[in-house]
Amino acid sequence: MNEVNVSAPKGAVLATVIVPFAGLVAAIILSWGKGIDLVSFGLFAALSAMRILGITVGFHRLLTHKSFKTVPWVKVVLTVMGSMAIEGKPFVWVADHRRHHVHSDTEEDPHSPNAGRSGFLGALKGFVHSHIGWMLSDSRSDHARYIPDLMRDRHVSFVNRHFALWSALGLIFPAALGFLIEGTWTGALLGFLWGGLASVFFVHHTTWSINSVCHIFGSRPFRSKDQSRNNAFFGYLAFGEGWHHNHHAFERSAKHGLFWWQPDVSYLLIRLLEALGLAWDVVVPSQEEVKAKLSSGRSG
């Protein structure tokens, strides 16, 4: 049941950063002069949405913060979707994120852009560290401390053990769809590049920006000890995750867009699951709780 808490080889981590970028470049070259075709664009958009929701709803709001409960098969599907984003095994992702909340913007935070840094060069180093560099560090989040519940969960453990399979399927699936729709190997290649590697690149830098950009740029309606920010651009692009300061104020909330002008696609999916009877005990702060924290300046 217990997995040894070891880091992925740094070469493998670098590959997850470099290979999707190379795939994006190849996809652009192949589409140069004629533009991205409708099938390739559709695969890119659909697979990107699937991966982002796997991270935001599956890895983040369900596994990390237990913002709602669901049936086992939905938990497995969401966790597989998150694994297809190739951001690391569920165990590692959740342990790192829970550690981030415990030690937000301190030296113990695995990916703070702010801890112990000042001046322009310090800010630049902090941004690079929080966006990508932290994944190459030797610091590890203790599984026994941060995710004992997930290590006992046989459904999440199953997905975690077979992470490499889900990662590969996330690349093979759009290639197969491209071949079936277009009926050519070129269609398969474009499906692999746009729906696979280019999509992974887009999702990586969209979700990683919550660690970096959303602790540097944006608004802070709740007074807090950390530097989390609400960033409207990533509020839209990352399906609600960019309302990051709201999230730090109400960590367990399934809804990050707490105000009417803050769209939250991830929460809409949770509401849909709830309407279908597939989600329950959905945690959302009342308007009174939100107003109390705004007026008192307290942060949770």
Residue-wise pLDDT for 86-138, tens only, equals 999 999 999 999 999 999 988 888 888 887 667 778 888 889 989 998 988 87
Please report whether residue 249 resides in a domain.
Answer: no
Q: How many CA atoms lie within 13 A of 9 on its CB side?
A: 3
Whether residue 267 is predicted with pLDDT greater than 80 in this model: the reply is yes
Closest to 150 (Cα-Cα) out of 196, 194, 92, 103: 92
Q: Give the long-range contacts of residues 294-298, CB within 8 A, separation 24 or more.
A: 294/221, 294/222, 297/222, 297/223, 298/222, 298/223
Q: Looking at per-residue confidence, does 120 or 70 come out higher?
A: 70
Q: In this predicted structure, what is the pLDDT of residue 3?
A: 54
State both tokens at 62.
């369900």
SS (H, E, C) 142-157: CHHHHCHHHHCCHHHH
Please report whether residue 251 resides in a domain.
Answer: no
Please report whether residue 226 resides in a domain.
Answer: no
CA distance 91 to 80: 12
Whether residue 29 is predicted with pLDDT greater than 80 in this model: the reply is yes
Please report whether residue 232 resides in a domain.
Answer: no
Please report whether residue 264 resides in a domain.
Answer: no
DSSP three-state, residue 82: helix
Please report whether residue 278 resides in a domain.
Answer: no
Please report whether residue 28 resides in a domain.
Answer: yes
Q: Looking at per-residue confidence, does 3 or 196 come out higher?
A: 196
Domain that holds residue 80: 10-221
Closest to 253 (Cα-Cα) out of 206, 300, 203: 300
- Say how many domains are in the chain: 1
CA distance 287 to 295: 12
Please report whether residue 91 resides in a domain.
Answer: yes
Q: How many CA atoms lie within 13 A of 162 on its CB side?
A: 13
Q: Which helix (H) or strand (E) holds 279?
A: strand 279-280
- Which has the minimum average pLDDT: 19-33, 94-108, 128-142, 266-280? 128-142
- Which has the minimum average pLDDT: 120-124, 130-134, 149-153, 193-197? 120-124
Closest to 46 (Cα-Cα) out of 170, 165, 150: 170
Q: In this predicted structure, what is the pLDDT of residue 213?
A: 96
State both tokens at 284.
């959302």
